Amino acid sequence: MTFSAIALAFVVSSCAAVIAEKVEQKEANMSAAQFVRNQANTPAKLAKAQALPQNRMFIVTKGNKNYYVYADVAGCQCVYVGNEAAFQQYQQIKISQNIAQEQVMAAELNQDAAFDMGVVWGPGFYY
């Protein structure tokens, strides 16, 4: 019973760490894309930030302009706001990171495959 509780606590903490890392990466990407970080440093701002959907991007239209908003009260106690240009830049950053990640994964798979050839075919299979 004690082992199960410890294992469950480890799994939950590991999942929380992965989620926190993803949120930190997303916030770093938004900063790089020129989103403006607004700190919820007063009770009124904090209440408004808490009323927003948390940890997901959504659109707010003011006049004829779209603004992209991301609130993270639990983490940074802030709200990121960006215009259309910032959002497009954010999307490009995400695409670039996905391509880079796929290239790393492909290189790792190719390296693993190269090492496994001797195991599958035995030494000297290419003679």
For residue 63, how many C-alpha atoms fall within 13 Å in the half-sphere facing its CB? Answer: 2
pLDDT in tens, 50-88: 999 999 999 999 999 999 999 999 999 999 999 999 999
77 or 98: whose pLDDT is higher?
77
**Using CA atoms in the order 24, 74, 66, 31, what is the torsion angle rounded to 10 degrees?**
-30
Please, which residues have CB within 8 angstroms of residue 45's CB and are 6 or more apart in sequence? 38, 39
Rounded CA separation 83/93 (Å): 15
Alpha helices, DSSP H only, in 2-126? Answer: 2-32, 43-51, 84-121
Q: How do residues 24-40 score in pLDDT, each as one tens digit?
A: 899 999 999 999 999 99
